[in-house]
Structure 1
Amino acid sequence: MRHPHCEASDPDDDRVCLPSVEALTAGTLALMTGYAQAPVDCPNRSLMARKLVSNLFFLSGHPQVSPPMRAMAANLHTRWQLSLEDTPVQEGPPEPTPLWHRVAAGVH
């Protein structure tokens, strides 16, 4: 069943279509889960935290979010922002891992 805000599309398309505020909330919750499950030394952890701060900022001012939910998002935004400021920033690109491919010697 499609959400009423979704545009009509291919009936065989099984992607979930969410209104923007729900998609933003779902993405934020997924990022929080990823952040919580990532090891402390994960090179992407700080990027996830930065995106969380951004998402919480937008949720705190979203017109489709209730005032109490906006206040909670603003509070979380402040807490994540402070936490992010206490986290050292990784300088330069991440170190290569065994899963990375070697750079090609030339292009054919």
Structure 2
Amino acid sequence: MHDTACEACAMDDEAHTLPSVEALTAGTLALMTGYAQSATECPHRGLLARKLLSNLFFLSEHPHVSPPMRAMLVNLRARWQPAAEAAPAAGSERQPSPLWHAAPEHVQ
């Protein structure tokens, strides 16, 4: 009886196992949703666009993607390219915080 209960708990868990192409697609769709819902002044928007571009590249090169889907992904990647290029470089807008520690002069 205990084994059945453990299996039921495992089935209710939110961790799902997807094939790699589906997992990458799901992650890309989640990034697109985050980008669409974020404010234009959001500091993470550029990082979202860059990650989206990366995911679209890897999806378009995935061996389990059909040629028509590959062509659509390449087109989509071209449409996201300007958003990724317009984003400031990672960390360029970050200013040191008083909570940051200075690098030590000597390392033992």
Q: Where do 5+ consecutive residues of structure 2 fail to align?
A: 1-5, 101-108
The equivalences for 1:1-108 within 5 A come to 11=7, 12-13=9-10, 14=13, 15-85=15-85, 87-89=86-88, 91-93=92-94, 103=99
Q: TM-score, normalised by structure 1?
A: 0.72
Partners of 2:54 and 2:96 in 1: how far apart? 26
- Offset of 1:92 from its aligned partner? 3.7
Q: TM-score, normalised by structure 2?
A: 0.72
- Offset of 1:49 from its aligned partner? 0.3
Identity %: 58
**Number of positions where the alignment pairs a residue of Structure 1 with one of Structure 2:** 90
4+ runs of 1 displaced by more than 6 Å? none
Q: Where do 5+ consecutive residues of structure 1 fail to align?
A: 1-9, 97-101
- Offset of 1:94 from its aligned partner? 6.4
Partners of 2:34 and 2:64 in 1: how far apart? 26
Is the helix fraction higher in 1 or 2?
2
Q: Which has the larger radius of gyration?
A: 2
Partners of 1:45 and 1:71 in 2: how far apart? 26
RMSD between aligned alpha carbons?
2.4
